[in-house]
Amino acid sequence: MTDTVIRRTGRAGHVSLSRPKALNALNHAMCLEIEAALDAWRDDPEVALVMIDGAGDKAFCAGGDIAEIYHQGRAGDYATGRAFWRDEYRLNAKLAEYPKPVISFLHGFVMGGGVGLGGHVGERVVCESSQIAMPECGIGFVPDVGGSLLLARAPGRLGEYLGLTAARMGPGDAIHAGFADHFVPEADWPALKERLAATGDVAALSEAASAPPASPMAAAQDEIDVLFGADSVAGIRAALEGAKGPIGEAARKAVGRNSPLSMAVTLEMLRRLRAGDGDIRAALRQEYRVSHRIVEEGDFVEGVRAQIIDKDRTPHWRLAADEVTPAHVEAMLAPLGEDELAL
């Protein structure tokens, strides 16, 4: 069975991720198949809109399928990861800039590559089971697939909190943070998809949507802004040391265990996007500078080993928190010359 089911239904082009046992993790072939479908539908007058969803009841897409990148990286092959990320990021940009309405149905786990696939489109639907996160700093990477842009645009210091801690957003949180647009109970999704396909009209979304659940992160926004208000990982660590309550305690543990280099680079990525005219292309180009280097020069291989391969949850990061310097961060974000991402 193919990992991606692509078909036209009525007025809709319909993409379904079909790896439910792997939580619909996105691999290189799937990226290329989805991109080809988008290219074919762009100028097809019979296709009025595009829908993207995932099979199974656990996940829209729990991230990129990074095991192969890990194994190839350990063998000294860095080209495999670079090619995957280059093509994935091109797909992310294409989705963000697509001229026809694109609707993503974000049920269950939506993490990393799943955010890149469903988080930049014009209409993002969540439901009761939605759990959205950018967990990359825990595997020695940085928020990518355009996720850094969503984090930079989140209210207050919520982007720093989400990026450094990998905290999960429920449906209300996702809408508050700018990662989703509509809350529709999952039981209503089949009828909604049928109507969208039959009419080709996104007005069906607003008619089906209801008030989202409350957002705990919105309620804690002031606390998060204080805890993550510093401009450095050291400053954030200091603020978290005296924090009480569930938000501060969980954040202190996460910041204490995640890659110090990855967290420092993430903070600088968000700062640069906010300081400039940050758009999806600027975010992806910046992210690609990191992903181009991360397997060879960063904590990616060790982070994936500890969290996904061996699952011992005890990564040995290259640099301790007090060893990361601005020069280390700048080296990860420096221009790539001829290897810069072309979109």
Each residue's pLDDT tens digit, 71-96: 999 999 999 999 999 999 999 999 99
- One-letter amino acid at 185 equals P
Residue with tokens 């439901």: 127
Question: 111: which strand partners?
Answer: 133
Residue 327 has which token pair? 């020069």
- For residues 217 and 227, give the distance between their C-alpha atoms in angstroms, rounded to a whole number: 13
- For the chain, the farthest-separated pair of C-alpha atoms sits apart, in whole angstroms, at 59
Phi, psi (deg, nearest 5) at residue 281: -70, -40
pLDDT, mean of residues 220-230: 97
Each residue's pLDDT tens digit, 150-208: 999 999 999 999 999 999 999 999 999 999 999 999 999 999 999 999 999 999 999 99
Query: What pLDDT does 167 receive?
Result: 98
Q: What is the pLDDT of residues 275-312, one digit of tens each?
A: 987 899 999 999 999 999 999 999 999 999 999 999 99
pLDDT of residue 257: 96
Q: Using an 8 Å Cβ cutoff, are 137 and 118 in contact?
A: no
Question: Is the entire prediction scored with pTM above 0.95?
Answer: yes
- pLDDT single digits (tens) 57-67: 999 999 998 99
User: CA 280 → CA 1, 182, 330, distances in Å?
Assistant: 33, 21, 21
58: containing domain: 4-339
- pLDDT number for residue 276: 85
Mean pLDDT of 242-254: 93
What pLDDT does residue 2 have? 82
List the CATH number of the domain containing 179.
3.90.226.10
pLDDT at 278: 82
Q: What is the pLDDT of residue 121?
A: 98
Residue 200 burial (CB count, 10 A): 17
Place of tokens 């194994």: 71
Segment 235-252 mean pLDDT = 94
- Cα(288)–Cα(89) distance, integer angstroms: 8
Positions annotated as catalytic residues are 64, 113, 136, 144
Asked if pLDDT for residue 41 goes beyond 90, the answer is yes
For all residues of the chain together, what is the average pLDDT?
A: 97
* Sign of the C-alpha dihedral computed for residues 272, 274, 276 and 277 taken in this order: positive
Identify the bridge partners of residue 59 per DSSP, sorted by sequence position. 108, 109
Residue-level pLDDT at 1:
56
Count of domains for the chain: 1
